[in-house]
Amino acid sequence: MKIVYVSLLDASSFGGAGEHVFGVSNGLAKLGHEVHLIVGHSEPLSDTSFAHDKLNLHLVSYQGLSVFQTADVLSGKALKLIEAVKPEIVYLRAFPLDIYFISRKLYKMGVPFVYELNAITDAEYRSTGQALKGKVYTWFEGRTLALAAGWAPVTDEILKYALRVSSSNKPKPYFFARNGIDFDDAIADVSRADLRKDIGVSESKTVLIMAGFSRPWHGSDRAMKMVSLLKSEVELWLVGSPNEHVTKETLLLAKELGVYGSVRVFPWMNKQEMANMIGAADIGISALAIDRQGMAEAEALKTRLCLAMGLPVLVNHIDPGLDGSLPFVLNIISNDPNDLAIRVDKLIESKADFKDGARAYAREHFSWDVVAEETAEFMSQLIEKRDEV
Tens of pLDDT along 156-185? 999 999 999 999 878 899 999 988 888 887
With cut-offs at 50, 70 and 90, classify the pLDDT of residue 352: confident
Per residue in 97-154, pLDDT tens? 999 999 999 999 999 999 999 888 888 888 788 889 889 999 999 999 999 999 999 8
Please state the rounded mean pLDDT for residues 224-230: 97
CB atoms < 10 A from the CB of 341, how many? 18
Could you give the domains of the chain? 2-180+367-388 (3.40.50.2000), 184-365 (3.40.50.2000)
Helix axes 271-279, 192-199, angle to 10 degrees: 90
Report yes or no: 327 and 354 within 8 Å, Cβ to Cβ.
yes
Q: Could you tell me which of 249, 220, 248 has the C-alpha nearest to residue 236?
A: 220
Residues 6 or more apart whose CB falls under 8 angstroms from that of 78 comprise: 4, 6, 38, 102
pLDDT of residue 224 exceeding 90, the answer is yes
Q: Which range among 46-50, 68-72, 86-90, 275-279 shows the weakest confidence by mean pLDDT?
A: 46-50
Could you report the per-residue pLDDT of 40-62, keeping only the tens digit for each? 998 887 777 778 888 999 999 99
In this structure, which amino acid lies at residue 106? L
Interval 213-237 mean pLDDT: 95
Q: What local confidence, expressed as pLDDT, does residue 385 receive?
A: 84
348, HSE (Cβ side, Cα atoms, 13 Å): 23
Closest to 230 measured CA to CA, from 262, 204, 253, 201:
262
| Model-wide pTM > 0.85 | no
pLDDT in the model for residue 14:
65
